[in-house]
Amino acid sequence: MKTTYREATRAALRDALQRDDRVFLMGEDVGRYGGSFAVSLGLLEEFGPERIRDTPLSESGFVGAGIGAALGGMRPIVEIMTVNFSLLALDQIINNAATLLHMSGGQFNVPIVIRMTTGAGRQLGAQHSHSLEGWYAHIPGLRILAPATLADARGMLWTALQDPDPVLIFEHGSLYNVAGELDDDAGAVDIDRAAVLRQGDDLTLITYGGTLPMVLEAAEQLAADGIEADVIDLRTLRPLDGAAILASVGRTHRAVVVDEGWRSGSISAEIAARISEGAFFDLDAPVERVCSLEVPVPYAKHLEQAALPSVERVVAAARRAAGSS
C-alpha cells in the first residue's frame, strides 16, 4: 500500500493501542490538536482522553509521570515535541529512567517509550534543529532507535514496547512526508541489528535516520562512476550493531560515516573508533566522516544547507576514501 512515514508512525501507534490496554500516549498537543506533526491525528476520537492524554507544558513533569506509570505496570508512550525540549527532562530520562533498574538491584524495570522529533533542514532555527540522539546513545540503560524507513516507522514501536527498559525513538522531521510502498501486513521489526540497504564491494557508507535518503542518493551517483557501496542503516544507535559494521568494512576496506550531529564527540566518532579498534588492518584508507558544521544551525536556508551534510559532501568523502578524488 502507498503510505507516508507520518501515516506509518500513526498506524504503529494505533496498532499498539489496540493490542495492549496498558498502552497510552501522552504529551503536548497529542490529543485535540493531533500532534505537532499530525502523527496522532484522529487517535483521541478513536481511543478517548484516558489513552490519548494532552499534558501541561512541562517536559520534566510529564516524562516523570510516564516513568511513574511504567513503574506501576502501564506501557506509556511519551511524546516530546522536538528533541531540544527533551533537555528539560534530562534529569528524568538520565537520572531516573536509565538508572532505576541498576539502583534498585534489578527490582524495578522502567518500560517506557519516549518519542521525539529530531534533526534540521526545515528552517526552524538553532533551538529547534538539534540532532542530539548521539548524546543519548552515550547513556547506559537506554535503547536508542532511529527509524529511517517506512517499515521501521511502522514496526519499531511495538518491538520497543516489549522492552522492559526505557527506549527513546528519534523521528527525523524531514521524513514525515516521505511516501512509498509498505506491505499491507507490515508489523513489528527487529531492533537489534543494522540493515544493509545496498550492497557493493568498494566502500561502506554508514548512516541512520534523516540522512539515509541522501546517502542512498550519493550511492547511486557513485555507482554511475563505477564505485559500488554498501549502505548500512544503523537503525539502533544504542546498542550499536558493531558486527554488521565490521563485517562490511572488513570486506570493502573503506568507510564513510554520515551523521547530522556535530563532528566533535558525535556518534560518528564512536563508529570511527570502533572501526579502528576492530578493523584497523582491513582498512585501505582513513575512515571519512560527514557531519554538520560546528555552528548553531542557521535559520537562513542557504546557510542551513551549507552547515548540514549533503549528497555532494558524501560523494566527495566517498571519492577520497576510494582514492578517486
pLDDT tens per residue, range 279-293: 999 999 999 999 999
Domain final residue, candidates 141, 156, 181: 181
Domain that holds residue 63: 2-181
In a domain, 152, yes or no: yes
278 falls within a domain: yes
Whole-number pLDDT of residue 168: 98
Q: What are 83-129's pLDDT values in tens digits?
A: 999 999 999 999 999 999 999 999 999 999 999 999 999 999 999 99
Q: Domain check: are 273 and 245 in the same one? A: yes
- pLDDT value, residue 324: 61
Write phi, then psi, for 90 (nearest 5 degrees): -55, -40
- The number of domains in the chain is 2
In a domain, 87, yes or no: yes
H or E, element range at 149 = none
207 and 77 co-located in one domain: no
Cα–Cα distance measured from residue 289 to residue 272, given in angstroms and rounded to the nearest whole number: 8
Looking at this protein, which amino acid is placed at residue 296?
P
Q: Which of 121, 156, 181 is the C-terminal boundary of a domain?
A: 181
Quote the CA–CA distance of 203 and 249 in Å, as a whole number: 7
Secondary structure E strands in the chain: 2-4, 23-27, 52-54, 75-82, 113-118, 143-145, 167-172, 179-181, 195-198, 203-207, 229-233, 236-238, 255-262, 288-292
Query: Nearest CA to 318 among 288, 283, 286?
Result: 288
pTM of the model: 0.97
114 and 80 in one domain? yes
Euclidean distance between CA atoms 79 and 170, whole angstroms: 10
CA dihedral defined by 166, 168, 169, 170, rounded to 10 degrees? 180
Residues marked active site are found at: 59, 128
